[in-house]
Structure 1
Amino acid sequence: MALDKFNLDGQTIQYAVCPACHYTYKPLFKCGSKMPRYPDTCMNYPSANLHPNFMCDASLLRDSEPIKTFTYHSFHNYLAGLLTNPNAERVMDAACDNLMSTLSQSPLVTSDVLEAEYLHSFEGPIPNCLFIDRGTEGRYTFSLNVDFFAAEGKSIYNATISCGIISLACLNLPPNIRYKPEHMFLAGVIPGPKEPLLDQLNHYLYSLVDDLDVS
């Protein structure tokens, strides 16, 4: 009841997914209604460059419900939750500060991605200023992971059903905790039964890209 009253549940968006081309459709709501509405058929042009007049036109709904769905979890909710832990925020800020203080000391052996050359030269939002030169701000680096797994488990036969996950890991956290479930961000689970093609995978990443694009 308290979670409901204070609206503390994480924000999610349930997209309708085209079973044929994997195009995703954000729900629409009538004024005053909480019932999501989706198109009946897919209006995507999956091969616009080769066949500009070919519309997918696959059915999206069965009995007024999406045949296939993809639920996206808000990245901003995740980051806000992570920063509510003062110890985590302190460790994440210290990762940038420690790297700034040792820029002139290039390690002979790299034991962590934060020691790699990339962050030693990557500029932040301020021109001619390194990303890790945070001042009083929080500067956080994430790795994007997209991986698929056999939903029915391992088998001596080829897997017939494959699902995928889209996740982020905060590289500012120490390696021994950054990949723990409580610290990682699960953007969503890509529905099976088959893996989407590379260009189709982009449809599942749009919401995450929009969340990360704060300019």
Structure 2
Amino acid sequence: MPTLTKTPFITEAISLFNLKIGEDSEKKKISEDTPYITHNSLTRIVLELQQPDKYSLDKLLVGSGVYIPPKPEKKIDPEYAARMNRLRIRLQEQEYQDMIASTVPELATPFYESFDKKELKNQLSVIINVLFSVVSVGFAVWTWAGSSLTTGKRLLLSLFASFVVLIAEVTLYMGYLQRIEEAQKEERLKKEIKTVIKHEEIIPISIEAKKDK
């Protein structure tokens, strides 16, 4: 049988039922604290009170309904909640950036686009220069050793010279990038110091003084 919600009339009947059975150990009292009551308990009340004109089962059921217990609160893992909050903030930030970019297209990312193009151009230039140096040195060694060495030795010597030049070029370029990075770090760490070179005091002249002159 389903549990039913309590009405003020049912609460009154429960109080009378508990008062009537008193301390009778053979009869169990009905709880007055719960927001629901079972159909069997209502039947016990009707049989115990024996007042069909007032406390009949039909009258007790008036205004009552099926009791639906509240859903238990879900326990959320704090770590999971924090992760979801970070994802939500990141999504909101991304949506905001997309909105700004779509609203003002000319302010989207001009600096980064120009910076990427310049960086790509520099890298391509370095690769072309290195390849040109390697091929030039290899060809020069091949030509130089043409009269004194066999074809196999000429090839090995050319490849060895090209490999040495390649290592040297890469080492120099990596050193160059490292020096630039260190210079940028030092520049960021520098504090800008402003000094006053010249100080002049301006004395305002009133209108009366101008008239006197």
Q: TM-score range by the shorter chain?
A: under 0.3
TM-score (norm 1): 0.18
Which has a greater percent of strand?
Answer: 1
